């Protein structure tokens, strides 16, 4: 079939522009490694390293012991240097017992509940908890990320729902097809993640 010259030229332009678009749309190799769903394996809970695959309650007790004095000062107004009467001290002990039970249980649940971060090609970052047995999603957050392969750094920027939230600058210590290690400077925290099969939550 004989194609008129102007249509042939138009066809060549479409093919070339389509090829260029495909090249632009394909993410860079390191960006491609980052994209997908990651599950948090370990992180720092209020300054104490925890492993989400280990028993949560002993770790929660260690966290509470680490923050016990600060919680007493913040929530009860007590320090070890105050001279409390016997009655005041008994009231304080009752508060500690209730506070420790509640906080240890809360932290244990946080450690036990799986946490995911999903990096999308459009620079959207979705983070959420998902119960393994009930499949219930909780505490969803949406952010945007800017990934620099040259410096192996991530800027995590608030999403539209929380435009005035803090910006986080994160350093990537390790990025492979299956493992991701992040360092969060403001918390002096290392977070370990593993790539998981992606499903819409």
- pTM (2 d.p.): 0.77
Answer yes or no: is 132 within a domain: yes
Q: What pLDDT was estimated at residue 200?
A: 56
Point out the domain boundary residue: 74, 93, 110.
Answer: 110
Q: What pLDDT was estimated at residue 167?
A: 83
pLDDT tens for each residue of 172-188: 999 999 999 999 998 88
Domain of residue 96, residue span: 56-110
53-62, 97-106, 190-199: least confident range? 190-199
Q: What pLDDT was estimated at residue 49?
A: 96
- What letter would DSSP give residue 73? I
Q: How confident is the model at residue 145 (pLDDT cuts 50, 70, 90)?
A: very high
Q: The CATH number of the domain where 130 resides is what?
A: 2.40.128.280
Q: Do 119 and 192 fall within a single domain?
A: yes
Q: Which residues of 61-74 are buried (b: 16+ CB within 10 A; e: fewer)?
A: eebbeebeeebbee
Q: How confident is the model at residue 89 (pLDDT cuts 50, 70, 90)?
A: confident
């Amino acid at each position: 079939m004989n194609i008129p010259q102007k249509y042939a030229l138009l066809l060549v332009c479409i093919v070339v522009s389509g090829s260029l678009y495909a090249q632009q749309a394909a993410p860079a190799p390191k960006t491609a490694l980052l994209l997908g769903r990651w599950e948090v394996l370990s992180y720092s809970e209020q300054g104490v390293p925890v492993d989400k695959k280990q028993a949560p309650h002993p770790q929660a007790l260690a966290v509470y012991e680490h923050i016990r004095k600060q919680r007493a000062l913040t929530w009860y107004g007590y320090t070890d240097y105050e001279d409390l009467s016997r009655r005041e001290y008994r009231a304080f002990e009752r508060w500690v017992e209730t506070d420790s039970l509640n906080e240890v249980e809360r932290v244990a649940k946080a450690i036990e509940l799986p946490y995911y971060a999903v990096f999308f090609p459009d620079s959207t970052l979705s983070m959420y908890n998902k119960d393994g047995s009930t499949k219930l999603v909780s505490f969803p957050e949406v952010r945007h990320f800017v990934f620099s392969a040259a410096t192996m750094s991530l800027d995590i920027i608030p999403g539209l729902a929380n435009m005035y939230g803090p910006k986080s600058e994160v350093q990537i210590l390790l990025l492979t097809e299956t493992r991701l290690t992040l360092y969060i400077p403001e918390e002096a925290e290392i977070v370990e993640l593993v790539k998981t099969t992606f499903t819409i939550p």
